[in-house]
Structure 1
Amino acid sequence: MKKKTIVLKYGGNAMTDIGIKNQLLENISNLIKKSYHIIIVHGGGPFIQKALEKANIVSEFIDGQRKTSEEALIEVEKVLKGNVNGDLVKILNSKNCKAVGLSGKDGKTLIAKKRYHISKTNQSIDLGQVGDVESVDPNLIKILIDNNYTPVITCIASDIAGKDYNINADNFAGHIAGALKADEFVVLTDVDGLLNDIDKPDSLIERIHTTSLNKLYDDGIIKGGMIPKLEACKTALINGATSCRIINGTKPNQLLEIFEGKNIGTQIIK
């Protein structure tokens, strides 16, 4: 029986709360033992901010997006690869998994390109070492999962000239899920999914087609941090993923319940 491929975008409080992190990684290890291929893609926003402050690097934000200098990227890569990624690999390995830490640079898995921000006045603004996705080569990931390794990938990648960039973790993960034709792309957030009203937890939208998302944008229902997550889901589906789901990472058992056939979070389909 062919193993299902699951790409998990990991972040939020599930990353910073030690208790939640340990329970979630325990659940991931249980899924691996149940013959799922799991690929973890992670960011590290809170850890990045602390590292930059410690290095006395002042963060500049443009329309809510961090501008990343060459000096800042050195610190970003240190904390993402050395701390966040290494810690996840260590914990998973302690739970009898065979986790392998990677970035987009390894095996040219992901090629980056420079990203420019278009302002409200339609100006193109240089964000420094902030990148977008040029292309994905999933072969290294496939070799690893075919040999029962669990890739844990951080969102640093190089362009074709070898210049490094930090890429938004949602965007990075969506492209990885699409390239792998993932059976499920799961995005962890700090809420139960996409809500019709952010102040009403019982207003969860359980299932939605990508064709219906534009109206929710126009109505102001999709906003803030939910925008890049849903855009990542659209990217994954357009490029070949079967299904996407946004769940609450602060409730670690939701990850298991998805694969028990329960209606958890918001499912996005093409």
Structure 2
Amino acid sequence: MITSDPHLRARTLVEALPYIRRFHDEIIVIKYGGNVLSDAGSSLTELAEDVALMRSVGMRPVIVHGGGPQIDDLADRLGLVPSFVDGLRVTDAAMLEVVRMALLGTVNPAIVTALGCQGAAAVGLSGADSSLAMASRISTDLGFVGSINRVQTGVVAELVQAGVIPVVASLGVETGGQLLNVNADSFASALAVALGAAKLIFLTNISGLLAEIDDSDSLIAQAAVDQVQGLIDNGKIRGGMIPKVTAALDASMGGVERVHLIDGTVPHSLLLELLTDEGVGTMIVGGSR
């Protein structure tokens, strides 16, 4: 809710100023989850507003997205039954086509259009464009599922330099040209490291990391890499959160200064985490190259 107190509004703007200065001209990679996009409300519009503001004050945002719920919905309409192994979608030829259609035909253009409505220039692409994300298959059991071997940042770097916001779908490509389905969290982590990003922000549908799983008041505002690893080892990070948090740790250890896990369904959570002292989620610090 926007306060009616003009003095509080002024203090909020002053509080944001050092962060605007600190991250001027810095690349900030934002991973936008399909779960956030599928939530009711105006989360996509609010994301576009936040990212457009970031660009207007001199930051250089890059968006990476997946689209799990959108893929599931399209697969269901086509009569395909999704299956998963260790949280990764088994992707045969038919499912790969569904993934491609959902990401490049639905999610990607929706984000690009939303940014355009806020006056922000954006271009949609995938990891296959200009061989951005070179990948190899993880296992025969998973089919056309890949992990990234090499990121060639040329096309993204050129767009960023031109003031355009890249919106990147999490698809990779093999040396022979075969498209591969890549986990979006891992994709965002690899791209953030390759770009030398100052921040990587995961927009999820949870508030952040909790010291106690069942206690929503135990949110950890800031954590070191070894502390987060301890939460995994102690079973306090479970299930589908493990790949996401592992990707966050990979980015931190790869040289990304600050990695954030925040609730993208909270209105303007991106700006609250970026431009206020208190923030709204969990910030991971302490990694090194």
Same fold, judged at TM 0.5 (above): yes
Cα-to-partner distance string for 1:204-235 (whole Å, 9 max, x where unaligned):
11111112233211211111222112111122
1:190 counterpart = 2:193? no
Go from structure 1 to structure 2 and tell me whether the alpha carbon gap of 1:166 and 1:173 turns closer, same or farther (over 3 Å shift): same
- Cα offset, 1:159, TM superposition: 0.8
- The code of the aligned residue for 1:173 comes to A
* Match for residue 86 of structure 1 among 81, 103, 109: 109
- One-letter amino acid matched to 1:15: L
**Distance in 2 of aligned mates of 1:193 and 1:143:** 33
Kindly provide the amino acid, as one letter, of the partner of residue 186 in structure 1.
Answer: I
| Residue 179 of structure 2 corresponds to residue 164 of structure 1 | yes
Select 1:111's aligned residue among 129, 134, 141: 134
CA distance in 2, matches of 1:73, 1:24: 28
- Structure with greater strand share of residues: 1
Alignment partner of 2:247: what SS?
Answer: helix
- The structural deviation recorded for 1:18 is 4.4
SS of residue matched to 1:128: coil
Is residue 231 from structure 1 mapped to residue 254 from structure 2 by the alignment? no
Unaligned residue ranges in structure 2 (runs of 5+): 1-20
Contact 1:88 1:152 survives alignment (8 Å): yes
From 191, 194, 202, the equivalent of 1:179 is 194
Match of 1:59 in 2: 82
1:266 aligns to what? 282
Tell me which stretches of 4 or more aligned residues in structure 1 moved more than 4 Å: none
Normalising by structure 1, what TM-score?
0.92
Q: 2:99 aligns with which of 68, 76, 84?
A: 76
Q: Which residue of 1 aligns with 2:271?
A: 256
The letter of the residue matching 1:100 is: V
Q: CA deviation at 1:132?
A: 0.6
* Aligned equivalents of 2:85, 2:253: Cα separation in 1: 29
Aligned to 1:39: 62
- Equivalent in 12, 25, 50 of residue 3 of structure 1: 25
**Change in CA separation of 1:51 and 1:146 when aligned onto 2, cut-off 3 Å:** same
CA distance, structure 1, for counterparts of residue 260 and residue 248 of structure 2: 8
**Please, what TM-score do these two structures have when normalized by structure 2?**
0.86
Amino acid at match of 1:57: L
Figure out how many residues of one structure are paired with residues of the other and give that number: 262
1:222 and 1:61 mapped to 2: Cα distance?
19
Cα deviation digits, residues 47-73 of structure 1 (max 9, x gap): 000111111122223344321101110
Q: Determine the structure 2 residue equivalent to 1:242.
A: 257
The residue that corresponds to 2:8 in the other structure is none
61 and 230 in structure 1: CA distance in 2 versus 1, 3 angstrom threshold: closer
Mark the runs of 5 or more structure 1 residues left unpaired by the alignment.
Answer: 117-124
